[in-house]
Structure 1
């Protein structure tokens, strides 16, 4: 501190008598600011908590609340099973292979539903986003259809396809298409026109503009749509697996409700939550990988 004040005093004296130039004053002031910045980063580094620890704080608080509510008898065990009972039910069902089989069936349905839904939604967004004729034909139809509740289509889907695996996957496909389309289309049309003009000035043709300007600019919107689509897929899976099925997480949930097994019900809900958290982590990884060039506000 004393040394810094002395340097500032010397710099001020130099200004008054004309002996110090601007470059010399800057050179004398830089070491002090660097030392201060280095010291500030060190203090912050000592107090900083790893981000993965902070992200686990929320789920841990939920678990702690759940444990306290069941331990003190605020809610009866018939209404809400304790964490210990849920873990015991999970170990039992995992040992018998029932839980693994149900999880595999659910992942199979969601996987195919996402694959077809993302492909269809992305294709429609490209057609409507790149071409004005495509926008006139596709966008109006998609805005009409997206207001129809997907669950309301379930009886019609059963009439069209039946009650087999195809109907369950088709229901998830319909739910996934709309968030992918809406967010990707908006992202394509939201690319700054000045960037497109700059690309044309540098000699980029239509393929070059799409590859170097429009696609990088629309990737953030697509990832937002993918995050919403993953949530919708897990939500629709619950409804899909309650229609003529004998396996899957939704089937276990429905079967446990009939026998009032709150431990299995909570176990299935916890599995849905963990799968959603894992899906969100995958999208966040894609964002860090594909959008490493973008520098946005990351919070304070």
Structure 2
């Protein structure tokens, strides 16, 4: 800080791009807690930079954050190997206007983050920086310590990989909400047929308890099996709509406390993926809205 004159230029630049940097790190890591740590590390390095040597502050900050996130991504991969049960991204409570930026909402959706999990660390960084944040290949090359030609090849490979696995995204936000409301009613009333009507035959349910809360240790596959699991939700549970990772979702409360966040993937009006995060260590970013931006 610079006395009574307000923030210094380095602080102003960092604050101006903070939401962008968080979003870059979060999309690379799928962990809000790790993304916050990346922001801290980025600030410490940025504070020591001579701003007179920086041509593009946004690109420079993104480069620092990307390098920090890449290091964490490799460490996170090792942590996931010993994780109990399925590992799901940390859900974020997001503002309703995030859904208006369709590309941003798609990029932070639980379904897309799980697709990004299937990429190698450098592929994930290149895909996020190019496809979501539209950085040019030279900027990305500096961020990932590759030459531009190699980055183009990596980007092409990552695009093909994601295209084969990404959600089809055929429904509008209104259709998404309608499907979720029908799902909520079916779960609350316990009407098995109503539940089967909204679930795709090949639906997959992933539950993340992290070894702390009870959860299925393997994916539950198929409408019949998933409906059976959902029918066990206690009648004392309160299901509430919420905006999670840019899309309508449900939160499950027991005795007034948040117990589970349920994000969904909807294709052609049917639920094809259910992602239930129960690990309490992953629910802290549901207490207040987290700003994300491009």
Q: Which is greater in Rg?
A: 1
| Structure that is richer in helix per residue | 1
Q: RCO higher in 1 or 2 (8 Å CA, sep ≥ 6)? A: 2
TM-score for both structures, normalised by structure 2: 0.27
TM-score for both structures, normalised by structure 1: 0.26
